[in-house]
């Protein structure tokens, strides 16, 4: 099955983006035939910034996203949202990339299920 998960919340302060990435990863691991893509909107794009420094024992979304893409997941970031936050392509974690509305539209029609978190 093909899943698209759309995230909007900041990486820290709420757990919606954290749980969205956990869910996406579990969908990949649950069935080797699943394909999962994640699209980051608004403050969620900050979750894909490299070199995040979190306290010991606290989750690190940058590392979680790299783990997700290492397993075959795909992550796209709203380019306009990145620009509004001063995030350049060179600051993204490995496996994450700039995207846009046209690709999000393609992913939406590609997906069997769209989950908006």
Identify the three-state secondary structure at position 14: coil
Q: How confident is the model at residue 95 (pLDDT cuts 50, 70, 90)?
A: very high
Alpha helices (runs of H) in 1-117, residue ranges in sequence order: 16-30, 61-70, 79-84, 101-110
Angle between helices 16-30 and 61-70 (to 10 degrees): 20
Give residue-wise pLDDT tens across range 44-87.
999 999 999 998 888 999 999 999 999 999 999 999 999 999 99
* pLDDT at site 109: 98
Domain parsing of the chain, residue ranges? 2-116
If you average pLDDT over every residue of the chain, what do you get?
A: 96
* pLDDT at site 27: 96
If you average pLDDT over residues 18-27, what whole number do you get?
Answer: 97
CATH homologous superfamily of 2-116 equals DsrEFH-like (3.40.1260.10)
CB neighbour list of residue 107: distance below 8 Å, 6 or more residues apart: 4, 37, 39, 76
The proportion of the chain whose per-residue pLDDT surpasses 90, expressed as a percent, equals 93
Q: Are the CB atoms for 11 and 47 separated by under 8 Å?
A: yes
* pLDDT at site 31: 83
């Amino acid at each position: 099955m093909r899943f698209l998960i759309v995230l909007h919340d900041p990486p820290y302060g709420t757990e919606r983006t954290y749980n969205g990435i956990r869910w996406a990863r579990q969908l990949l691991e649950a069935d080797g035939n699943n394909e999962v893509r994640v699209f980051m909107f608004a403050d969620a794009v900050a979750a894909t910034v490299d070199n995040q420094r979190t306290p010991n024992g606290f989750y690190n979304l940058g590392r979680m996203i790299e783990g997700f893409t290492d397993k075959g997941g795909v992550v796209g970031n709203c380019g306009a949202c990145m620009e509004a936050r001063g995030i350049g392509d060179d600051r993204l974690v490995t496996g994450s990339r700039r995207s846009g509305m046209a690709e999000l539209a393609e992913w939406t029609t590609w997906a069997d299920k769209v989950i908006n978190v």
